[in-house]
Structure 1
Amino acid sequence: MPTADPAAQARLEAALPAALARITATPGVYATLWCGSAARGEADEHSDLDFHALVRGDHRWRGSFVVDGVPVEVFHNPVRKVRAMFAAPDHATVAIFAQGRPVIPHPDLTALVAEAGATYAAGPAPRPLTPAERHMLLDEVIEARSLVRDEMHALVALNAAGRLIRALYAARGWWEVKPRAWLRDLEQHAAPEADLLRRVSTVPMPAQRQAALEALALAVLPEGLTYGESTTEPQRVP
């Protein structure tokens, strides 16, 4: 995972006043949360400035601009939409408000940060795989097995590993994180699975890479790597 870059952090912090001036001038905006890696003091050379702005009215939108050479991204939402995302729960939104820094304060923002903090501390409800989801994950692992002698094996195995990690987070009731944070986060939750993901990502020999992928799959599919019965919910054909 990339490490924090003090020079990049300083560059982003220097652009903060100009970014906030533009956000404050946006019609409807009355509170702003600074979020993302820079708000956590973890910026690197690829980081930008991220904000979540509370707006009055019935619209939500996403905007981007550049100040002093720094890319800025702003998510604009009315309070009721933010609370709806908390309730979903939208993992990214809960984490943003739980970990962000209010930079244009307002009581509404203070309340949302507190709500997000409590929700984040409680954790999401575990969501076991459906039989159909299990079947699709197993398909990807078996597809990778069939390509062990093919030059595309690394790509297919990594794609399957990514889907397995997302399923693991859902089934265990962990908050989702971005792929760049998977290894660091998994080491806190489940060190063996973190090691397996690292091996899928770095082992050069296809057979060993596949073995690590299948061991990772067994952490998500404890019933084993054999097919069973499954069906999706019927959908009306328009």
Structure 2
Amino acid sequence: MTDTTADPQARLEAALPAALERLRATPGAYAALWCGSAARGEGNAHSDLDFHVLVSGDERWRANYVVDGVPVEAFHNPVRKVRAMFAAGQGDTITMYAEGRPVWPHPDLDALIAEARALHAAGPDPRPLGQQARFRLVEEVMDARALASAGDPLHVLVACSAAGLAVEALFGARGWWAVKPQRWLGTLAERDPQAAHDLRAVLTAPDTSARQVALEALTLRVTGDLTYHEGGSDPVAVP
């Protein structure tokens, strides 16, 4: 018998039947998709059980509760709302449906999974870094450079913040679906090993100088250079 106290994934899977029982008791619910890290077999001691639940009617809602000591989050939506989220390019929803595991099957759910997998495989349209987003990223990198020059311990905080902006911009520019930060390194290792190397260096470099060099290398993959460009927002009326 598996010791669920020592195996987080086993603990999550052990709570699955009770969670599913509660989902089945939800008025209007008729199908459920298990998604997230636990559904991929990557659950850890801090993971929860995530579900997308199909419901009849015209309402949507989110529910949070605890089953057998395991946190549960369930997103309830009519089919047409899920398709609207697909059409809007909501990467998190598309990814969940593409990677999820049906635990309460229904033909509607099968159809949504097939649609999501096709969308996920195609990827989103590339989203070049906008003018204001570029300015913000370069500004944060320059703030980090100033802290590095001064030997300020806050460098690690600002550098990591800037690296997050750079990674999100890189995913957009390359036409990749966004993933949670927990999956950044793994995804980059598959698609751009040098970017993964730079991000890991930002996170683990033993000294400030090496961290800053890695941050700037990562940023240049998106911006091309670290110069400020002219620009600004359009004028808006003051109420």
Q: TM-score, normalised by structure 2?
A: 0.94
- How many residues matched? 233
| 1:13 CA drift (Å) | 1.3
| Equivalent residue in structure 2 for 1:164, among 163, 166, 173 | 166
Deviation readout 1:170-217 (Å, 9 max, x if unpaired) = 000011111111111101110111100011000121111111111111
C-alpha contact 1:6 1:43 (8 A) present in aligned 2: no
CA RMSD for the aligned pairs?
1.4
Which residue of 2 is the match for residue 31 of structure 1?
31
2:7 is paired with a residue of what secondary structure? Answer: helix
The match for 2:212 is: 210
TM-fit CA distance, 1:38 = 1.4
1:147 matched residue in structure 2: 147
Give 2:205's aligned amino acid. Answer: V
1:96 Cα shift? Answer: 0.4
User: Amino acid of the residue matched to residue 53 of structure 1?
Assistant: V
Instruction: Report the counterpart of residue 232 of structure 2 in structure 1.
Output: 231
Q: How does 1:108-147 map to 2 (within 5 A)?
A: 108-147=108-147
Show structure 1 runs of 4+ deviating over 4 A.
none
Q: Give, in whole Å, the separation in 2 of the partners of 1:6 and 1:107.
A: 37
Note the alpha carbon deviations across 1:33-57, whole angstroms, 9 max, x for none. 0111111112111111110001112
Unaligned runs of 5+ residues in structure 2 are: none
AA matched with 2:113: V
1:62 deviates by: 0.9
In structure 2, how many angstroms separate the alpha carbons of the residues matched to 1:57 and 1:233?
42
Distance 1:234 1:32 in 2: 47
The question of whether the paired residues in 2 share the 8 Å contact of 1:98 and 1:116 is answered with yes
Residue deviations 1:71-97, cap 9 Å, x none? Answer: 111011111111111112111100000
Q: Describe the SS at the equivalent of 1:14.
A: helix
Contact 1:65 1:73 in 2 (8 A): yes
Partner of 2:79: 79
Q: Structure 1 residues 105 and 6 mapped into 2: Cα distance closer, same or farther (>3 Å)? A: farther
Distance 1:38 1:227, change over 3 A: same
Bigger Cα displacement from structure 2, 38-47 vs 106-115: 38-47
Aligned pair in 2 of structure 1 residues 104, 237: CA closer, same or farther (>3 Å)? farther
Q: How much does 1:236 deviate? A: 3.9
- Matching of residue 220 in structure 1 with residue 230 in structure 2: no
Aligned to 1:90: 90
Residues 185 and 6 of structure 1: CA distance in aligned 2, closer, same or farther (over 3 Å): farther
Cα distance in 2 for partners of 1:205, 1:52 equals 44
Question: Identity, % of aligned pairs?
Answer: 60
